[in-house]
Structure 1
């Protein structure tokens, strides 16, 4: 299946509208920090014929498919195998001091969900892998089979917001003492065994939260995002814009907090005139998190959990952008 057929970009027109005022300047560069199959990038290159795009992704298969998709745009698209917190280093190597636009489309890509052997989908049996870069780091099976029970409970509670983390981990630990866990189907069975019947009657598939937690841990998604958003804001020129699509509350909360810090003044109370160094660095472009419309969700169910936040950089910073302390966890 072609990358075009398998990938429907989420909230595409709204992302284009939010970024548009910053990309009309001649020679503008936009960074797609989570390239995936290139759907958003293709639309950006088509909508803004003067724009140059830098696309990042750690998944070599996604990069290859995106490269094929964006080939008609020639040297307007530069694609780099990198994790999204590496944007400053990538721009430095390319000799690009600042960009006019940044896009993050977080979470797992259509490619990763649709290929059973990647192990991201709890609805199909597959090896427990879940690595976005299948050549690096621990797999989900490694996490399940080697982490101490207390660390597994932390992962499920923190990244999956799983109320029954202790019960699930107890069952997993008993199982792995007999033989290592390797199959997603077996993990789903164990989760069903661990949860009370009442918990399985609401909230969708009972494995959803555990699989989310393992994916975040395996790929270090939140720890990387905590570095990536401030780094992207630093890379923005004044007048540049950033758009971030999140798919669960942990991501969205982190983006909200970083944007809120940037949009707030830091002047001590009572100053008659506020010096520039205390002025906000960002102007928020969305009122809270924007949601996809009903028609889009009906046409593309994967859009349902999406939350869009956007901001514009309004002044230079006189110091480093605040970076939150990482919540812990693996390696995206």
Structure 2
């Protein structure tokens, strides 16, 4: 039996809260503005923005029923539920969600990527290598594929690719081959057995640095199970398209794979698309976005000291300056 989950209200610390509030604030201040929190989680950022801007409405998306329930509870406790709509959806479903709600344009969009405190602090969800639990990792517990399915069924070459690409794991092939040997003896069902196998597969000298040896493998499996990078690559252009002129988007990432997608997408929108051989910009080819951050901004040292989970966070933001031609 797993230990009881800690009270979410005791553990949830929104990352980069003040910076996100400053970046999205001007767009949220408009009366009747709509904020889409595409990764609602425990609603920490959204609660702060709703409190700061009395005319703001929230559309919050999350695939995790536990997160939606806790977010709804927090919104109700703050007497903000009447200005919020919580939707069971993955963020790449954003266009369909807005269409069903009759929302043509929004003024702000927030993505806070990665695993929420609620998921990390519930061992039974299988996201953490720090406690033995079912090898699950689904953000939507009703989704068909678990981490155990990936570990036990992927061919060794495909499993190595997942670990190498999604986890940036140097020893991906070695780990995949070890998994192949062990799953032939007995399928993997628990996080503890997998974490120990990964630790044993990595050279001792490497194990002494860089945190837990299984960190990259667990990240890779979580990304694969939930199609996180694919969903992000589909969702960002749709979110930008939904922004009204003057609307703003902010994205918090926690590893380089996410950050690269965000950087490239925002940079493309902030670039003039006139062919370089032409002497003057072509009408309709100018940028549609204005970057609001210089690269990926990191949290201050004081925030990391207070909340170590913020250490790898980076935020990028942009403002919609015109509609696409």
TM-score (norm 2): 0.96
The equivalent of 1:193 in structure 2 is 200
Match of 2:57 in 1: 52
CA distance in 2, matches of 1:80, 1:118: 21
Q: Does 1:301 align with 2:308?
A: yes
Pairing partner for 2:156 from 149, 158, 166:
149
Q: Distance in 1 between matches of 2:31 and 2:152?
A: 53
Cα distance in structure 2, aligned partners of 1:192 and 1:75? 49
| Alignment partner of 1:181 is 2:182 | no
Distance 2:7 2:170 in 1: 40
1:328 corresponding residue in structure 2: none
Shift of 1:44: 1.0
Counterpart for residue 81 of structure 2? 74
Shift of 1:16: 0.5
* Per-residue deviation, 1:272: 4.9
> 1:137 Cα shift?
2.2
Any idea what the Cα deviations from partners look like across 1:52-102, whole Å, max 9, x if unmatched? 000000000110010010011132000000000111111110111000000
Q: Does residue 246 in structure 1 map to residue 274 in structure 2?
A: no
Over aligned residue pairs, what C-alpha RMSD do you find?
1.0
For 2:24, the equivalent position in structure 1 comes to 19
Q: 1:3 aligns with which of 5, 8, 33?
A: 8
Deviation at 1:2, TM superposition (A): 4.1
- Runs of 5+ unmatched residues, structure 2: 1-5
**1:240·1:313 contact (CA, 8 Å) conserved in 2?**
yes
Q: CA deviation at 1:271?
A: 4.0
Alpha-carbon distance between aligned partners in 2 of 1:220 and 1:40, rounded to the nearest angstrom: 24
SS at match of 1:163: coil
1:25, distance to aligned residue in structure 2 (A): 1.5
Normalising by structure 1, we get a TM-score of 0.94
- The answer to whether the aligner puts 1:256 opposite 2:245 as a matched pair is no
2:84 pairs with 1:87? no
**How far is the alpha carbon of 1:185 from its aligned partner?**
0.8
Between the aligned partners of 1:260 and 1:241, the Cα distance in structure 2 is: 14
How many residue pairs were aligned?
318
For residue 183 of structure 1, report the CA deviation from its aligned partner.
1.1
Looking at structure 2, the residues matched to 37 and 6 of structure 1 have their Cα atoms a distance apart, in angstroms, of: 10
**Structure 2 CA distance, aligned partners of 1:152 and 1:46?**
45
Distance in structure 1 (CA, Å) of the matches to 2:128 and 2:196: 14
**Larger mean Cα displacement after TM superposition, 270-279 or 295-304:** 270-279
Distance 1:46 1:75 in 2: 13
CA distance in 2, matches of 1:310, 1:177: 47
Equivalent pair of 2:8/2:117 in contact (CA under 8 Å):
no
Q: Are 1:281 and 2:276 matched, yes or no? A: no
Q: Is the 8 A contact 2:72 2:81 kept in 1?
A: no
Q: CA deviation at 1:4?
A: 2.6
Q: 2:123 aligns with which of 116, 119, 124?
A: 116
Cα distance between partner residues in 2 of 1:225 and 1:170: 30
- Residue 330 of structure 1 corresponds to none
For residues 283 and 103 of structure 2, the distance between their equivalents in structure 1, rounded to whole angstroms, comes to: 26
Does the 8 Å CA contact 2:28/2:49 hold for their aligned counterparts?
no
2:3 maps to: none
CA displacement, residues 93-144 of structure 1 (integer Å, 9 cap, x when unaligned): 0111000000000011100000000000111111100000011121001100
Q: Answer with 260-269 or 249-258: which moved more.
A: 260-269
Larger deviation, residues 68-77 vs 255-264 = 68-77
Aligned equivalents of 1:15 and 1:158: distance in 2?
Answer: 29
